[in-house]
Amino acid sequence: MHRAIPRAVADLLLKTYYDRTLARTVGIHISERLGSHFMNAINPYEAPLAAQQHPPVNPGLRPLLFAFNGRIPRRQYWAVAIASFIVYGISISLIMPIVNQESAVVSLVGSILLLGVITIFTWVSLAIQIKRWHDRGKSGWWILISLIPVIGAIWAFIEVCCLRGTVGPNEFGLDPT
């Protein structure tokens, strides 16, 4: 039975005492002798796997509002939902007088602005709800459960607004709390 040589020591030996060609040959022999220990040794200088696979927990406002990937906790969901609802209400109250103008051109511009505000509000609403479903460990397609009359809306409210997300990392990202 042979002792396992740490990867750093084996690398140092290979780089220090042999030229490049010989080091490759010796490296093959060492890896064959040590088997999976040498090939699967964890590099302490390598970034953690979770950091490589998932985006940062707090990437900024644009990804928070417009991206459909990642996770957000309940408090952030509620903050964004309430803030976007207030901004939506103010925007609608400012645009509706423009839409109700007698001039066709001004009314058309107001209608286009209104359509833009509704589209942005809908996109942000979908993005934050999908991130909450991700935080619960479920696919974003679960958002469609709210289309089921009464029961679906209650289920979605409880899952998205009331229950804590998955503890620790899940397939959608790191734990945001």
Residue 73 scores a pLDDT above 70: yes
Block residue for tokens 């996109």: 123
173 has which bridge partners? Answer: 170
- Taking the C-alpha atoms of residue 158 and residue 165, their distance in angstroms, rounded to an integer, is 12
Residue 32 scores a pLDDT above 50: no
Of 158, 127, 131, 164, which is closest to residue 145 (Cα–Cα)?
158
Confidence (pLDDT) at 36: 43
Sign of CA dihedral 158, 160, 161, 164: positive
- CB-based contacts of 106, cutoff 8 Å, min separation 6: 98
Confidence (pLDDT) at 26: 44
Q: Which tops the pLDDT comparison, 36 or 67? A: 67
Residue 33 scores a pLDDT above 60: no
Q: Tens of pLDDT along 111-136?
A: 999 999 999 999 999 999 999 999 99
Confidence (pLDDT) at 102: 87
Confidence (pLDDT) at 125: 96
Mean residue pLDDT across the chain: 80
Block residue for tokens 């909450």: 132
- Average pLDDT rounded to a whole number, residues 137-152: 95
Residue 23 scores a pLDDT above 50: no
Confidence (pLDDT) at 139: 95
- Taking the C-alpha atoms of residue 36 and residue 158, their distance in angstroms, rounded to an integer, is 47
